[in-house]
């Protein structure tokens, strides 16, 4: 039902104010202008504040062209791999269009097992992809924070491929193995397409709201409550399609997408205790869940209520592979299993367009996983993953919100 509700919010973007907004109109009033403090801040009332996440993307690091760390080149897609074989060479006089089609067909043939099982759906069946490249350099600095309080670079016996990064501004122990996995893939460079998933956030298919409570001092406070929730309403936009501040948003009513934790503010920087969270994900009308274990926020809170920093934790590898690359367990907007044809087309098409193989990225994610060992095998099952985000003041309410177009979705 959560996916249906999220879809209803999408329909409400151009249809008027949601019921949640109508309920709270007039309840909140902005404080007089002036310094933002616990007593007079326009975004903080009675020790409480709400935020809508307006920008979010994977926190990675410098492009390979800048760092020079991908010394063996970039990862290849199946057509590029096929082109390296004798059969994949361009024949004398062969038309470019014909050759391109032959490369595509050849790539498709090596995308499945001998008995026809597609490797995006069954990556565990594939042979090792020797053309997938990971960023194993220890000299590259990564974006993000120290999640576990340990700098593994200085620990004897730490494998090179599991060593923490040095971060910007002298930060140590940055846990960001996802960057290692995708740092030599062209679609995860600054001009690539794989880190643009927030587009769906602005179209209304998913979103995130945050809340603060028990705040006594915005500069230094040893104990505050922090809420992280899926957003049940589409982001309200200005005529220039910028997120509006102080709009009203409802928390998702599904408990699976709601989490609270404690935190502290020191020198205007909010740091939270770890908590498991779950966000929504939507790609090509394929809806999945985006879990993050031991998630923590470290973000600067500005005087005007802008929260900017990192959301970091450990993504379960199998689920990360699904929501980012293969969509194997995706559902449609009604909450039913998505058509297999759409899943296969989306996963294989993305791999070919974006420059990797499904089995290559799957193998890399498992090899670079660094947390939550399986109690039976001892193998790590989750990989450190970080997001850079920005959130702006909003009114966050805990009510069930419905679109004015709800009946159109239900066909009542």
Three-state SS string over 190-227 comes to CCCCCCCCCHHHHHCCCCEEEEEECCCCCCEEEEEEEE
Q: What is the pLDDT of residues 46-90, one digit of tens each?
A: 999 999 999 999 999 999 999 999 999 999 999 999 999 999 999
Average confidence (pLDDT) over 192-207: 88
Q: Is 116 exposed, middle or buried (0-12, 13-18, 19+ CB in 10 A)?
A: exposed
- Which positions ≥6 away from 5 have C-beta within 8 Å? 232, 252, 253, 254, 402
Question: Three-state SS for 404?
Answer: coil
* pLDDT over threshold 60, residue 1: no
Split at pLDDT 50, 70, 90, the class of 409 is very low
Quickly state the pLDDT bin for 216 (edges 50, 70, 90).
Answer: very high
Q: Which residues contact 280 (CB under 8 A, 6 or more apart)?
A: 2, 3, 6, 205, 206, 207, 230, 252, 257, 287, 288, 289, 290
Q: Cβ–Cβ contacts within 10 Å for residue 150, how many? A: 14
β-bridge partners, 392: 52
How far apart, in whole angstroms, are the C-alpha atoms of residue 231 and residue 9? 10
Sign of the alpha-carbon torsion through 168, 189, 165, 148: positive
CA dist., res. 253 & res. 234, Å (int): 15
Say if CB 134 and CB 71 are below 8 A apart: no
pLDDT of residue 323: 97
Within the chain, what is the greatest distance between any pair of CA atoms?
A: 78
For residue 34, pLDDT over 60 is answered with: no
Q: Is the pLDDT of residue 248 over 80?
A: yes
Q: What is the pLDDT of residue 48?
A: 95
Q: What is the pLDDT of residues 293-343, one digit of tens each?
A: 999 999 999 989 999 999 999 999 999 999 999 999 999 988 999 999 999
Q: Residue 158 class from Cβ within 10 Å (0-12 exposed, 13-18 middle, 19+ buried)? A: middle
Average pLDDT in the chain: 88
Give the pLDDT mean for 365-394.
97
Alpha helices in 119-246 (DSSP H): 177-182, 199-203
Query: Which residues, in sequence order, are CB contacts of 50 under 8 Å at separation 6+?
Result: 209, 210, 211, 212, 249, 393, 394, 395, 396
Whole-number Å distance between alpha carbons of 185 and 270: 33
**Residues 232, 253 contacting (CB under 8 angstroms):** yes
Euclidean distance between CA atoms 337 and 33, whole angstroms:
50
**Rounded mean pLDDT, 19-36:** 35
Read off the pLDDT band of 402 (50, 70, 90). low
Whether 125 contacts 117, CB under 8 Å: yes
C-alpha closest to that of 183 among 290, 75, 291: 75
Give the integer Cα–Cα distance in Å for 342 and 348.
10
CB 151 within 8 A of CB 117: no
Average pLDDT of the segment spanning 343-362 = 96
> In the chain, what are the domain boundaries?
2-61+191-410
The two three-digit tokens of residue 115, written as one number: 């008995």
Under a CB-based contact definition with an 8 Å cutoff, are residues 45 and 214 in contact? no
Specify which residues 211 forms β-bridges with: 50, 227
pLDDT over 50 at 28, yes or no: no
């Amino acid at each position: 039902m959560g996916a249906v509700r999220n879809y209803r919010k999408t329909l409400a973007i151009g249809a008027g104010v949601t019921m949640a907004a109508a309920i709270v109109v007039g309840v909140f009033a902005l404080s007089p202008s002036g310094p933002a403090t616990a007593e007079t801040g326009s975004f903080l009332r009675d020790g409480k504040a709400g935020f809508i996440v307006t920008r979010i993307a994977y926190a990675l690091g410098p492009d390979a062209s800048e760092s020079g760390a991908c010394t063996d080149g970039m990862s290849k897609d199946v057509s590029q791999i096929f082109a390296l074989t004798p059969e994949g060479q361009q024949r004398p006089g062969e038309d470019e269009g014909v050759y391109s089609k032959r490369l595509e067909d050849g790539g498709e043939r090596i995308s499945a097992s001998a008995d026809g099982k597609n490797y995006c759906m069954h990556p565990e069946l594939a042979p090792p992809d020797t053309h997938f490249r990971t960023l194993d350099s220890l000299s590259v600095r990564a974006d993000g924070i120290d999640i576990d309080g340990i700098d593994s670079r200085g620990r004897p016996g730490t494998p090179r491929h599991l060593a923490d990064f040095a971060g910007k501004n002298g930060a140590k122990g940055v846990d960001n193995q996802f960057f290692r996995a995708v740092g030599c893939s062209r679609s995860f460079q600054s001009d690539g397409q794989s880190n643009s998933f927030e587009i769906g956030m602005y179209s209304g298919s998913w979103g995130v709201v945050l809340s603060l409570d028990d705040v006594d001092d915005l500069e230094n406070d040893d104990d505050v409550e922090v809420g992280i929730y899926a957003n049940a309403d589409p982001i309200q936009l200005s005529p220039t399609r910028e997120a509006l501040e102080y709009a009203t948003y409802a928390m998702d009513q599904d408990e699976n997408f709601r989490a609270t934790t404690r935190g502290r503010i020191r020198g205007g920087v909010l740091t939270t205790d770890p908590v498991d969270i779950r966000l929504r994900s939507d790609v090509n009308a394929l809806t999945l869940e985006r879990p993050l274990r031991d998630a923590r926020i470290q973000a600067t809170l500005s005087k005007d209520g802008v929260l900017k920093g990192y959301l970091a934790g450990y993504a379960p590898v199998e689920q990360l592979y699904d929501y980012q690359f293969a969509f194997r367990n995706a559902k449609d907007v009604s909450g039913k299993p998505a058509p297999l044809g759409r899943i296969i087309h989306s996963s294989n098409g993305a791999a070919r367009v974006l420059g990797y193989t499904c089995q290559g990225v799957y193998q890399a994610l498992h090899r670079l996983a660094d947390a939550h060992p399986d109690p039976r095998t001892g193998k790590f099952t989750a990989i450190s993953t970080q997001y850079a985000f920005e959130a702006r003041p909003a009114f966050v309410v805990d009510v069930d919100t419905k679109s004015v177009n709800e009946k159109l979705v239900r066909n009542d």
